Amino acid sequence: MSKTTGKITSRLLALSLAVGVAFAIPNFAFADSPNRTPPSLRVDAPSVYIVKKGDTLWDISGRYLSKPWRWPEIWAVNRHVKNPHWIYPGDRLLICLINGRTVVGRDEGDGCAGIERRMSDNGLPVVKLEPQIRVQSLDLAIPIISLSSIQHWLKHSRVVSVEEIEGTPYILGNRDNRVVAAVGQSVYVRGQGLVIGQQYGVYREGTDYVVTRKNKVVENLGRELSQVASGTITALNGDIATIELTRSFDGEVRKGDRVMLEDTTPLPNIFYPIQPDQVASGGRVIRVLDSISSAAKNSVIVFDRGTVDGAAPGQVFAVYKQGEITTDPKTGEKIQLPSERTGLAMIFRAFNRVSYAIVLESELPIKADDEIRSPLGDISDQL
């Protein structure tokens, strides 16, 4: 991608995030289940709501439901327009009772009667109870969640195994023997397998995510790499290559930085929150990113559950703080109090053994070692 194209894309992305151009709701196919209770509206749900610039779909869903990820089950889809599931700033949303079912739909000037006419499949919302992620280019990104909070971690950070990093080429230095280098400069790389004309990413090694027992590391879940630049190989001389730096990502290139093929895996820029399906139990928060202690709404955290455990983007988890240990005043016994729910978080990028998640709601500060569970923790959560 050229520098000009990159600048235009960045500006469009910034504009779309600033004005909240629209909200995409995935298309679902509905099937009633005798074991699934239809979601109940909050008692304070607005009968009329005007969508505002800066809204996110999660926030709008939370105005109507205590379980926002069940929004598709009440959204009245209009199949007769090109993008029936998009919500735009200025849209007027109504609560309607249609065929005995409560729905929320977009008012096009004819009230609930018009919403009913425009609904399909015998007047019921079309809902498919399975994970959905719509992928579009960055310049069309739609703020289902606050994308500005996760851009770096979504695009320029990755977690790989230590074995995958070992033996990869690394920055040896530059012509002026400076400590750092920037865009437009050429630097020397040492390593095998580099190809002239190929573009590579330059990555700085960061945190190792490890499992410890009794203060001893028993397992390494992966090492975090943060992309600081990218460039193109222009010359080869044995195991020494020259790379011209063409882009920078909030960092300078230093000696020892790793040079690897850029991750070209298509990444979702639109997320619709869903409840987790089958994820191995016992997961915990293992790091709060960009913070020394705790996370709040829109913070990014790391779970010790990855794709091998069933984790996937879009899954919503409840986060619980372990209960304190207290002394029974009558018996003297040490009693552990029940865990306390501190918030909700949604995975936006899953690696092999760990996942990045954004905090959607936070009643209390979220900290490392907090437990993650299905948001359907008790019977009341299923309503």
Residue 346 sits in a domain of what CATH number? 2.40.10.410
Is residue 52 within 8 A of residue 140, CB to CB? The reply is no
Q: Are residues 126 and 159 in the same domain?
A: no
- Three-state DSSP class for residue 381: helix
Strands (DSSP E) found in 168-255: 170-174, 180-181, 186-190, 199-213, 216-237, 240-248, 253-254
- Residues 69 and 277: their CA atoms lie apart, in Å, by 13
**Quick check: is 103 in a domain?**
yes
Q: Are residues 102 and 139 in the same domain?
A: yes
Q: Are residues 98 and 209 in the same domain?
A: no
Closest by CA position to 285, among listed 318, 325, 324: 318
pLDDT in tens, the chain (383 residues): 444 444 333 333 332 333 333 444 444 333 344 446 788 899 999 999 998 877 788 888 889 998 888 887 888 876 665 555 677 788 899 999 888 888 998 898 899 988 888 886 544 544 443 333 333 333 332 346 667 778 888 889 999 999 999 999 999 988 776 667 778 889 999 999 999 999 999 999 999 999 888 788 889 999 999 999 999 999 999 999 999 999 998 778 999 999 999 877 766 655 667 778 788 888 999 999 987 788 888 899 999 999 999 999 888 899 999 888 999 999 999 998 999 999 999 999 999 999 999 998 898 899 999 999 988 754 344 44
Q: Are residues 160 and 107 in the same domain?
A: no
Which pTM value belongs to this model? Answer: 0.75
Amino acid code (one letter) for 50: I
Q: Is 290 left (phi over 0), alpha (psi -120 to 50) or beta?
A: left
Q: Are residues 168 and 249 in the same domain?
A: yes
Buried b (16+ CB within 10 A) or exposed e, 181-213: beeebebbbebeebeeeebbbbbbeeeebeeee
Count of structural domains, the chain: 3
Concatenating the DSSP letter of every residue in 110-161 gives SHHHHHHHHB-TTT------S-------GGG---SS-GGGTHHHHHSEEEE-
Q: Are residues 249 and 190 in the same domain?
A: yes
Q: Are residues 122 and 192 in the same domain?
A: no
DSSP secondary structure code for residue 308 in this structure: G
Predicted local confidence at residue 43, as pLDDT: 92
Predicted local confidence at residue 1, as pLDDT: 45
Pair of tokens at residue 27: 């298309």
Predicted local confidence at residue 13, as pLDDT: 31
Predicted local confidence at residue 84, as pLDDT: 57
Predicted local confidence at residue 66, as pLDDT: 86
Q: Are residues 19 and 133 in the same domain?
A: yes
**Quick check: is 272 in a domain?**
no
Predicted local confidence at residue 233, as pLDDT: 95
- Residues 124 and 371: their CA atoms lie apart, in Å, by 37
**Quick check: is 269 in a domain?**
no
Last-in-domain residue among 125, 144, 163: 144
**Quick check: is 273 in a domain?**
no
DSSP secondary structure code for residue 193 in this structure: S
Q: Are residues 9 and 124 in the same domain?
A: yes
Predicted local confidence at residue 115, as pLDDT: 87
Q: Are residues 242 and 344 in the same domain?
A: no
Is residue 228 within 8 A of residue 203, CB to CB? The reply is yes
- Residues 109 and 92: their CA atoms lie apart, in Å, by 9
Predicted local confidence at residue 152, as pLDDT: 84
Predicted local confidence at residue 269, as pLDDT: 56
Residue-number span of the structural domain to which 295 is assigned: 285-382
**Quick check: is 77 in a domain?**
yes
**Quick check: is 80 in a domain?**
yes
> Angle 273-40-65 (CA atoms, 0-180°, nearest 5)?
40
Domain of residue 238, CATH code: 2.40.33
**Quick check: is 138 in a domain?**
yes
Last-in-domain residue among 110, 144, 178: 144
Is residue 266 within 8 A of residue 313, CB to CB? The reply is no
Last-in-domain residue among 144, 171, 192: 144
Predicted local confidence at residue 123, as pLDDT: 46
**Quick check: is 277 in a domain?**
no
Element (H, E) at 164: helix 162-165
Q: Are residues 133 and 8 in the same domain?
A: yes
Q: Are residues 101 and 176 in the same domain?
A: no
Is residue 286 within 8 A of residue 368, CB to CB? The reply is yes
For the chain, state the CA radius of gyration: 24
